[in-house]
Structures are given as structure tokens and as C-alpha cells.
Structure 1
Amino acid sequence: MFGMSKLKAGSFVFVVKRDDTSNYIVIGRIVSEVDKVYRIRGTFIRPIGLIERIRAGRAQGKPIDALNNPDPNNCVFFIIDTLDTGNFDEEVDPRIDKITPINENRYFVLDGWIKESMPELFSNYFNSASADEKSEARSILINRMNSLMSQELKEHVYAVARSSQIL
């Protein structure tokens, strides 16, 4: 499998797992490997907002593709809506789950996105019931974006906000 030689203890990875509902992702670091099964420690991300939008018929095209075949390049469709996240510390078998090596910057941008509560802020904007609510959610989002310390994260969030027509 392509990229497997890059998988070793200390490597950052993007993992696609499957549960009863859909695919979900894990971002983390390989802490050990035994017989080509990797112990990953990081964060799981379940896109509950995206799943609900798809079920309600409010999402189509690229978001559905991202849910069906998530990768580090399309995962933005996962992370601009309500998420279920938590700690992950389990073994992952690449014969069952898809493991993609990612660089440290990509890991820290995705991790920062979660830790800075960006999914909730974007979700609040997109799910606003009135123009006043949308304006307030936009203002809160912009204030949070302006306060981000990581330049890479800030650039990523601004790019997503621009492409989402928030800015």
C-alpha cells in the first residue's frame, strides 16, 4: 500500500474508520507498531452535523463525497459543522482502516481547529435562524479568527471562511 513505509512511531496520521453510521476520522500520532498494526493516540472526529444535513437532504456533492471518502484534503467538509470529538488511543489495522501519513503542520491545523471550537462557530453561523443571529455569529467567528495565535491555523480558517462566503 502506498505510503506505508512512512508509517512509524512518531509519524502523524489521518485515519479513516467506519462505525455503524458512517465514516469518521482520527488525527493523531503513531505511538507503536506490532505486526503492521499501529497504536494511534490522538483525537477522533465524528461529523454529526454533516450526517444530519445529508439525512435532511440539505447537503449534496462534495460534502457527501467527503463523508464517503474522507482524506486530509476534503476533511474541511467534516469540520465546518457540529462534531463529536474525543480522545483516541487504540490500535488501527491498515488492512481494515485507511491510514494516511500527514505532516506536522497539517496535524496541528486540524487539531487546533478542534481545540479552538471552530466547528461550533461555523455551525452557529450556517444554522442561524435570522439575519440578526447570522450577523452575531459572524462577528463572534471573526473575533475568534482574529485572536488565533497559530499563523497556519489562522490562514486555514480565513481561507475556509472566504470560500464559505462568510467573509
Structure 2
Amino acid sequence: MENIFAIAVRRLRQTRRLTLAQLAEISGVSRAALSKIERAERSPSLSNALQIAEALRVPLAELIGQPLEPVAVMRAGQTVSMRQNETGVLREAVLHPYRGTEVVRYTLAKGEVAGPFPAHETGTREAFIVLSGQIEIQSGRHRVALVADDAAALPADCAHTIVNTGDVEARYLLLIGRP
């Protein structure tokens, strides 16, 4: 995945006529880290990968090799996974059904926190469907607690964090919809 991500980031950065320094400033990822990521000498952390995708205004799915297809099918075991080393949070890219949208499955161990994630572009919303366990979503001034089989949609054009507030692992689907 590192090579796919590296090639996609470099291609998009160059297409948008951005220097490494400019992308570093926009994304909040250091120029040195970006340089190593683009050369596939370093794997991006989940946080860095999301910051780079947001700065380039593309879904992370697009940078990790999930192309848009007329018919999109993702079989069990085919998801592209990223684990946040510091926390163990697991992010699996499930589908990239149409431009600006992606479906992601997250797994959070008891007490784990996903985020904080930077604000997406204005008008972006995220929909959560809890598969198991319980989570609390903090998005700007909104705070929502969800348990298994609950769903919610919130603005994601502000910093946001998801916390596993339960006693067991929490799993949820996340639909990210950009304008």
C-alpha cells in the first residue's frame, strides 16, 4: 500500500502544482515526512494519511488504490487497512462508491480514541452506524452517544473525535460525504 499511496500523493501534488513545502503547510504534515512518504521510505500514520488526503481534497480511499468503478464490490478480506500505531485503532476502507464519498469500517478497543481528526472541507458530513459496542462522537459543539444498531449523521467540517465509551471493542461503519 505504501507504494500506491506514495505514487498517488506525488501525482496529485504535482498535478495541483504544489511544492512539498506548500502541501506540508496545508496538511500539517512536515515537509521531511512528506518527502519520505512520497519516496515510499516511510509509511504514513493513519492521522498523517487522513491529513494529506484532506489537504489534497480527495477521499483517502482514492490515495490507497480504491478506484471508482461502474460496479464497486469489496469482498471480505479485500479491504485496505491502516492501524494507528499509537492507539491500535483500525481503519478499513470498505468502498469508494462515488466521487467525494467513502465507506469506512472502524474498530476501537475498549477506551480507545479515534482522532482528533481535522476538519473536512465545508459542507462535509459523516454518518455513523454502530455495529457493536458503544461510541461517543464529538464534532464541534455536538456530542452524540451511540450503541449497537444506532445511527447518526453529523457535520464533519470541524475537528472531530470518536471515543469507545463501552466495556468491549466497538465497531462502526462511517460514511463520509463531501460536497
Question: TM-score normalized by structure 1?
Answer: 0.30
The structure with more helix, counted as a fraction of residues: 1
If asked which structure has higher relative contact order (CA below 8 Å, sep 6+), I would say 1
